[in-house]
Amino acid sequence: MLRGLRALGVPLRLKDHMRNMLIGKIKCGSYWRKIPGYTERAYCSFCKKKKNIEIIESEQHMWMECENSGQSLAWETTRKIWRKTTNRTWPTISMGLIRGAAALSYEHDFSKDSERLRILISMTIWAIWKSRNKNSINDQDVTANETREALKDLIQDIIRKSWNATRFLEGGRRMKRQCALRSLWADKRFADFTPKTGPTVDLS
């Protein structure tokens, strides 16, 4: 699993976050109950602010169940991206799938579906986490739509940076990497890798 994390094509901070998930060190829920002066952080800040209800912020609540954070909109966006990039069925999201995202793999995968799935799940978790921190730790109000938009920004950013990085490769290596990126992000269906302007992404 850790080998899969090292190979995961996402920013280093997100790899660290996924590693913390694996070893149970995500700072949410019961973690804050042990720290004097911060026990209120044990509760979901979205549910507290918007519905005035106290729900322990477990990982399952945060990633999959909260009705006020925009996590469902983020996952909806991820499913739409998946449908634009492959004919495979989008998997049912569970805590096991989320924690094991770095090691997910399809048999007979000739379209980079495995790599794309690993990236999409990881990026969705990251967008939810960033919105949660902004709302809870920074005490800034975050709308449900902001979480979805955060995910869109992350996806566009990773595609753009991955493509721009190929400029520093030579000859055949550059062409091979660009070909891989076109396959990964479904050139002309989801992303459009125009050489002069760089990649554009259809997130409608």
Region 151-161 average pLDDT = 95
- pTM score, whole prediction: 0.92
Tell me which residue range forms the domain holding 33.
Answer: 2-201
37-45 own/partner pairs: CB under 8 Å, 24+ apart: 41/136, 41/137, 44/68, 44/69, 45/132, 45/135, 45/136
At 19, the pLDDT band (50, 70, 90 cuts) reads confident
Structural domain count of the chain:
1
Please check the confidence at residue 1 and state whether its pLDDT lies above 60.
no
Please compute the mean of the pLDDT values over residues 39-63 and round it to a whole number: 95
